[in-house]
Amino acid sequence: MSGVPAPNATVYATGGGVYGLRLDDGAMVEAGLRGRVKMERRTGDKVVIGDRVYAVRSEGAWSVDSVAPRDSEVVRRGPGGRAAKVVAANVDRVFAVVAAREPDMTFSLVDRLLVIAEASGLHSVLVVNKVDLEGGAERAAEAERIYGPLGYRVVAVSAALGTGMDRLRSEMCRGVSALMGPSGAGKSSLLNALHPALDLRTADVSRKTARGRHTTVSSRLIPLECGGVVADTPGFGDVGLWGVASDEVAACFPEIAALEEECRFRGCSHLREPDCAVLLAVAEGTIAPTRYESYVRLREEAAEAGPR
């Protein structure tokens, strides 16, 4: 379309129909939606944090006039339903956060998080938190052994002690990062440790209570002193596999995707076909059994959910 004005602001916060914008000149303003954007929003196409927008001011009030096409979207399944919901736009990378202990890290959870990010076309850094707890460092080392060779950087951290935080911070100082992971993994604690001025409420004071009381869950971009921004999207830990067709799951496992050409059959499901390079690699031990188990389970889940 011609005549669409260039974006002049980024959406920093959403909630309750109010949009917090950071204008390109640095000013923070609040805005509503208008015109076409408002219509689209009613039909479910939301304006989300990270969106680049064109904002206009009339009679002292700002409003979002149009939204620029997105480079990437972070998506999660809507509560109780199938509908995928975009929670952040133009995210550069995802930090998949798990706790080494309490709750204990499982490979099945890690795989699920990594696949969800891959399905959005986003590369993950795996963050193993709570390495201060007994056995935590060993679990982080185990994660490194499995995921490192697959191209995922693994960062072992303790939000409580500050261990590994310099490395984590240096990974986040450019562009937009999103933290994802189950509740209790320590995402709020990590954000607080990265940016002490924040004082986010952690589980003890319970954001969950706040979520129960208010109907609106707000999301925001948190600027870090070092330059990057982190997307804070409550509930992003409620992870399901959304919008991924079962035959797309293989592409979300780098080590399986790499063997695609070597199977005898095109479109091999890697479940039972003869001369399947993936089954062979599993038998030979070059693909970790836990990874293959995750592949089979997530594929089944995607098939049950049906086509998008």
The 3-state DSSP class for residue 269 equals coil
Contact yes or no for 289/282 (Cβ under 8 A): yes
Binding positions for ligand GDP, rule: CB under 6 A: 129-130, 132-133, 158-160, 181, 183-189, 202-204
DSSP bridge partners of 88: 49, 74
Nearer to ligand GDP, 141 or 160 (CB): 160
**Residue with token string 């999301």:** 219
Cis peptide before 103 (omega within 30 of 0): yes
Q: Which of 250, 276, 281, 302 binds Zn ion (CB under 5 A)?
A: 276
Please report how close the Cβ of residue 185 comes to ligand GDP at its closest, in angstroms: 4
Selection from ligand GDP, Zn ion, none that 270 binds (CB < 5 to 8 A by kind) is Zn ion
Q: Which two tokens stand for residue 191?
A: 């954000």
All residues at 6 or more sequence positions from 282 whose CB lies less than 8 Å from its CB, including other chains: 289, 292
Binding residue for Zn ion (CB under 5 A) from 13, 172, 278, 288? 278
Q: How far is the CB of 145 from Zn ion (least distance, A)?
A: 25
* 287 counts as binding Zn ion under rule CB under 5 A: no
Rounded CA-CA distance 75/215 in Å is: 20
Name the residue nearer to Zn ion (CB basis): 156 or 276. 276
Indicate the angle between helix axes 165-172 and 187-194, nearest 10 degrees. 80
By a kind-dependent CB cut-off of 5 to 8 A, residue 278 interacts, out of Zn ion, ligand GDP, none, with Zn ion
Residue 146 vs 165, nearer CB to ligand GDP: 165
Q: How far is the CB of 102 from ligand GDP (least distance, A)?
A: 7
**Lookup: tokens for 211:** 């979520």
Residue 276 near which of Zn ion, ligand GDP, none (CB within 5-8 Å, type-dependent)? Zn ion
Applying CB under 5 A, the span of 128-136, 159-167, 176-184, 269-277 interacting with Zn ion comes to: 269-277
Q: Residue 289 burial (CB < 10 Å; 0-12/13-18/19+)? A: exposed
- Nearest approach, Cβ of 159 to ligand GDP (angstroms)? 4
CA neighbor of 81 nearest in space, from 281, 249, 305: 305
Shortest CB 259 distance to Zn ion, Å? 7
**Residues 58-92: b if buried by 16+ CB within 10 A, e if exposed:** eeeebbbbbbbeeebbbbbbeeeeeebbbbbbbbb
298 interacts with, out of ligand GDP, Zn ion, none, CB within 5 to 8 A per kind: none
Which residues of the shown chain bind Zn ion in the complex (CB under 5 A)? 263, 268, 270, 276, 278
